[in-house]
Structure 1
Amino acid sequence: MSVPAVLWRLLRYGRPHVSVLVAAFGCMAVLGLGTGAYAYLMGPALRFLLSGGTEGFGGEHAVPWLSKLPRETALWGFPVVVVLIGLIKGVGYLGQFYFMGLFAQRVVKDLRREVFLKLTALSPSQLSKERVGDLLSRFSTDMTAVEWAAMYTVGSYLRDSLQVLVLAGVALSMSPLLGGVMLAVIPLAALPASRLTRKALKRTREGQSQLGQLAGQLHEGLGGLRTIQAFNGQAAELERFSAHTKAHEKAVVSAAWARGAVPGLMEVLAAAALAGMLAYAAATRAMEPAALLSLITAVILVYQPVKDLGRVTQFAMQAAISGERLFALLDLRHPVEDPPEALPAPTLRQGLRFQDVHFSYGQRRALEGLTLELPVGKVTALVGPSGGGKSTVTSLLLRFEKPQSGHLLLEGVDADRYAAASVRSQFALVTQEPLLFSGTVLDNLRFSRPDATLEEVEAAARVAQADGFIRNLPQGYETRIGERGVILSGGQRQRLCIARAVLSRAPVLVLDEATSSLDPESEREVQAALAAVLPGRTALVIAHRLSTVTGADIIHVMEAGRVVESGTHAELLQASGRYAALWALQTSGAERGAA
């Protein structure tokens, strides 16, 4: 996407707030007219000082109402006019910055909300391709760049362009020839300035990319701090970090040089044009001194907003690069999109079925013609070696991904006919990593059903064997558990997740390796909770430890994306196949560990 296209797309976020922008433009108009008034009055003021009388305000470029005043009145009147203009300009400045600040905050608020919604709406596989630090950099650094552009660049383009027009009008009214020659310098600087701007844009893009790399490495480093320190890897990490830092520094310095050259070029051209105008005016005496002074003042003043326009272009470039990164995220499309006339998914009464489903992650095959049923009111378990496709089944059920061929059937109807959110509402998920938020116990439990009463919350906690330890916490259900439930043990965190799933009242409970990361004591606690939760429920249990699924109604052994064995625990052991071999391997390992 080109830079103008990115900036135009960013500006579209300002449409709902155009009234604020109009108010800001009104203040800018007052500011521009005040600046033009200063330039226009400079010549008559000089003539007034030199002549000592009000006739100084007459002549070719007169201020009529001042020229008619008595001298004593004019002595006070002119300073009052100057102060009044300054007061009006001050109010214009204040109003402009207030309204542009309000405009910027509202634009960024809308954009930030859209980015947040996109991040929470993408599939896990899409987000897994991005570094978390880089995503955080887009949400912070890139968003700040857009905010600064909305506040300063848009305001400067409006304000300074208006001042240029007003001051150009004053200069041309004094002398069309000299004023035109002076103003012609501005477009002459456009070609070299555009080349410098393109160079700055390229370097700015490189700098933003390196900044995302730095943020990504920092996030990885904090997450893997124990590993880094255990292997004394600080030096290697520092070397990698220094390489990104050096690349970022080089890009930023190069961009700063290119941006700084633009106002420097304007300064040189302005000085040359001013010197030429003074030499011509002195040689030809084509203008009276008062008019010449007003012209010089207008020309000097006009170059400042022109330089400001060049200076704030850096904010526009930064916003363009940041906008590219933000829109690259916003333009991602979820693998599962609702059909034009999506139907709400019905409550499950018969069951779910995978019918000859194929699915791949890039070149890696995950499911190869999987056919599988999840009957209502039964506990179905999936076991098998890693990479067999078990977790992919969960992703397809929850509509994180879509079968590349074959069908997922709900009540005998293809899931593609239903709205994805309504399909997800059929499931309550408990994952291997207990995901809790930094609020209270009550907040975390109500996350699945915000309107649940306290009695319903407590009942769900009792079913999940969590009510007892919750009441022993300092503030019971109102205890704040810290980031990711840091004050709780692994078993307690997982039991809270199970209670949250029970509270949701979803027809199907999905347990994806819910006990695999727990120590033996915590695993026993969670298994006791599951023994109370699972009977009579429709559930899908994905497990690595076979001891978790011995009570399942049906167990499917998966390998290479297919079901290779099915049956109850007893039936599979009697068959002496893959399941029996896995069982023997795990139980013999447990016996050796106990010995």
Structure 2
Amino acid sequence: MRQVLSRLLRYARPHWGVLAVAFVGMAVVGLATGAYAYLTGPALRFLLSGGQEGFASAQRVPWLADLPREAALWGFPLVMVVVGAAKGLGYLTQFYFMGLFAQRVVKDVRRELFLRLTALSPTQLARERMGDLLSRFSSDVNAVHDAAMYTVGAYLRDSVQVVILTGVVLSLSPLLGGVMLLVIPLAALPASGLMRKVLKRTREGQTQLGNLAGQLHEGLGGLRTIQAFNGQEAELARFASHARAHEKAVVSAAWARGAVPGLMEVLAAAALAGALAYAASVRLMEPEALLSLLTAVILVYQPVKELGRVTQFAVQAGAAGERLFALLDLKHPVEDAPDAVPAPPLSRSIVLENVRFSYGERRALDGLSVELKAGQVTALVGGSGGGKSTVTSLLLRFERPQKGQYLLDGVDVDRYTAASVREQFALVTQEPLLFQGSVLDNLRYAKPDATREEVEAAAKVAHADGFIRAMPEGYDTRIGERGVTLSGGQRQRLCIARAVLARAKVLVLDEATSSLDPESEREVQAALAAVLPGRTALVIAHRLSTVVNADVLHVMEAGRVVESGTHAELLQKDGRYAALWKMQTEGPTERGAA
């Protein structure tokens, strides 16, 4: 945990200036608290004696002894008001600047976490539960905020108060004060054992909270399926199991946290009782000095107990930090070599040569060799699980071939930066991804500096301009999160228009029509018929009817190409492609006849 907290503190380094101002406020609070303790005894003598005489006899505030009685009567209350005002100003400074410090630290953590999430491979993220990722981004980051806001502030403020009050105690009576303060180190050993238990249970609680968030995300995303199969009771039982485990961990941690101040309270009471009995038997001090001493001791125990209480935030931040750093420490499978250079624009071909790739134990590509020639439309077809989409992941550098080569114009792409290779491609996937905002914003995502004329031209090519202009505000119409206000065909045509606007060298269509209804598919097919001619394109399709006009088709099975040729050539071969074509075009008729 110490190493994790040390890493978290690195986020504080750029903001030491803000923390220093907050520390000034804490120092003022500490000094004012010490002044209160020091003045408690003289205040009692002042009250009992009726003014100046109490200060003169106690000799605790000598400068008041020279004042006339009338001046002393209002002078001491004024001193108390000034001390109180200073303490209030110190608190204001402390809380404002600690809040600013905590927010800046959390902003940096969230920014780095967001950058890491968006920089990881889609395959890496697919291994994580989305709800758990969201939990790390929310509850785990909030734990870091609480530690920055309360633990760092309390450690600084209360440490200052402990030092100042300890000085007051020892200045009044080194012997008696030392005995009373001895309880603080004595409580450290059992408290540390309890805090280890808090850390363990807090880790369990954070993990279970991620499980709860993960199930909630899955449940909301699969609500239709859950209700269709009457699975509410099973989901509730699973949710209740996670909730009980979370409750058990949190309650156990709360018990351990509560035991720390309880232990301090018992030991402090014992020390005070013993000191009082000893002081009464030997009369070591004047009553007003003893009162100041007791006040200072009571006040010094308070920040010590507070330090024990806020340590829970440090423990929670440690547990949260472990989960955050587990994500932040993930490395993308494709990292640039130190001497990598930007890739030149594609001019001849892209080649995957004898490529092998596996997801764990599952072999996705097994000696695949395929070439994408510039200016041609290349199609990959075949049944599910043949490795077609893995080809897309390799081309866009989401993954690295485990064996074999990936060549761009005859040069191994490892010589180039991954970002410059990705710039060669524009991707349209099976699930059209649009962002909350206007149509214009979504199309410009591919090219932020595109003029409106360029955007409209791309939309016309993708057969999207007509339905866009029919919308209430045309290109400025807001389409809602993920484009929920549009049909599937409209969303996909916007994605195609966005890809056209990018003007990338290679257009990749990964099952772009497979999830559409027949009418939407016809709309998208018309758009593709206008987009593809003359372009370098890779079309991955399950439905063969969508790729009959491709320049070359490769049939994939079990991670390798088993047939290649044009549509007509492959039908003439009467091989695997012909069998697939027959099944897709004649299958429904035969089943209907049966």
Q: TM-score band, normalised by the shorter chain?
A: over 0.9
Letter in 2 for 1:356: N
Residue 385 of structure 1 aligns to a residue in which SS?
Answer: coil
Paired positions, count: 593
Shift of 1:288: 1.1
Shift of 1:8: 1.2
In the other structure, the counterpart of 2:176 is 178
Q: Does 1:349 align with 2:347?
A: yes
In the other structure, the counterpart of 1:229 is 227
The answer to whether the 8 Å contact 2:42/2:58 transfers is: no
Distance 2:230 2:547 in 1: 41
Letter in 2 for 1:33: L
The match for 1:91 among 89, 92, 95 is 89
Shift of 1:71: 1.4
Shift of 1:446: 0.5
Letter in 1 for 2:135: S
Residue 333 of structure 2 aligns to a residue in which SS?
Answer: coil
The answer to whether the 8 Å contact 1:464/1:533 transfers is: yes
Q: Does 1:245 align with 2:243?
A: yes
In the other structure, the counterpart of 1:72 is 70
Distance 1:153 1:192 in 2: 20
Residue 387 of structure 1 aligns to a residue in which SS?
Answer: coil
Residue 552 of structure 1 aligns to a residue in which SS?
Answer: coil
In the other structure, the counterpart of 2:44 is 46
In the other structure, the counterpart of 1:576 is 574
In the other structure, the counterpart of 2:539 is 541
C-alpha distance after superposition, 1:524-578 (max 9, x if no partner) = 1111100000000000000000001100000001111111100000000000011
In the other structure, the counterpart of 1:279 is 277
Shift of 1:411: 1.3
Root-mean-square deviation (CA, aligned residues, Å) is 1.1
Residue 400 of structure 1 aligns to a residue in which SS?
Answer: coil
Shift of 1:244: 0.6
Distance 2:514 2:59 in 1: 89
Write the mapping of 1:324-363 to structure 2, written as runs, cut at 5 A: 324-363=322-361
Change (3 A) 1:593 1:463: farther
Shift of 1:132: 0.3
Distance 2:144 2:479 in 1: 35
Letter in 2 for 1:245: A
C-alpha distance after superposition, 1:10-44 (max 9, x if no partner) = 11101111000000000000110000000111111
Letter in 1 for 2:310: V
Shift of 1:516: 0.6
In the other structure, the counterpart of 2:159 is 161
Change (3 A) 1:594 1:71: farther
Shift of 1:53: 4.0
Residue 262 of structure 2 aligns to a residue in which SS?
Answer: helix
Shift of 1:223: 0.4
Letter in 2 for 1:425: E
The two structures have a TM-score, normalised by structure 1, of 0.98
Letter in 2 for 1:361: Y
In the other structure, the counterpart of 2:484 is 486
Distance 1:591 1:448 in 2: 43
Q: Does 1:109 align with 2:101?
A: no
In the other structure, the counterpart of 1:439 is 437
Write the mapping of 1:351-500 to structure 2, written as runs, cut at 5 A: 351-500=349-498
In the other structure, the counterpart of 1:189 is 187
Letter in 2 for 1:268: V
C-alpha distance after superposition, 1:481-519 (max 9, x if no partner) = 111111111111100000000000001000000011111
Change (3 A) 1:269 1:212: same
The ranges of structure 1 where at least 4 consecutive aligned residues each deviate by more than 6 angstroms after the TM superposition are none
The answer to whether the 8 Å contact 1:61/1:291 transfers is: no
Shift of 1:59: 5.3
C-alpha distance after superposition, 1:322-356 (max 9, x if no partner) = 11111110000000001112200110001101111
Shift of 1:593: 7.8
In the other structure, the counterpart of 2:315 is 317
The answer to whether the 8 Å contact 1:439/1:480 transfers is: yes
C-alpha distance after superposition, 1:238-266 (max 9, x if no partner) = 11101111111111111001000100110
Residue 472 of structure 2 aligns to a residue in which SS?
Answer: coil
The answer to whether the 8 Å contact 2:58/2:288 transfers is: no
In the other structure, the counterpart of 1:295 is 293
Shift of 1:61: 5.5
Residue 143 of structure 1 aligns to a residue in which SS?
Answer: helix
The match for 2:150 among 143, 149, 152 is 152
Distance 1:126 1:549 in 2: 31
Shift of 1:62: 1.9
Write the mapping of 1:8-27 to structure 2, written as runs, cut at 5 A: 8-27=6-25
Distance 1:342 1:541 in 2: 29
Shift of 1:52: 2.9
The answer to whether the 8 Å contact 1:553/1:568 transfers is: yes
Distance 2:48 2:590 in 1: 108
The two structures have a TM-score, normalised by structure 2, of 0.99
Change (3 A) 1:441 1:591: farther
Distance 2:63 2:473 in 1: 78
Distance 1:456 1:49 in 2: 85
In the other structure, the counterpart of 2:208 is 210
The match for 2:3 among 2, 5, 24 is 5
The match for 2:130 among 123, 129, 132 is 132
Shift of 1:357: 1.1
Shift of 1:387: 1.2
Distance 2:481 2:26 in 1: 47
Q: Structure 1, unaligned stretches of length 5 or more?
A: none
The answer to whether the 8 Å contact 2:427/2:507 transfers is: yes
Distance 1:141 1:79 in 2: 47
Q: Structure 2, unaligned stretches of length 5 or more?
A: none
Letter in 2 for 1:499: A
Q: Does 1:306 align with 2:337?
A: no
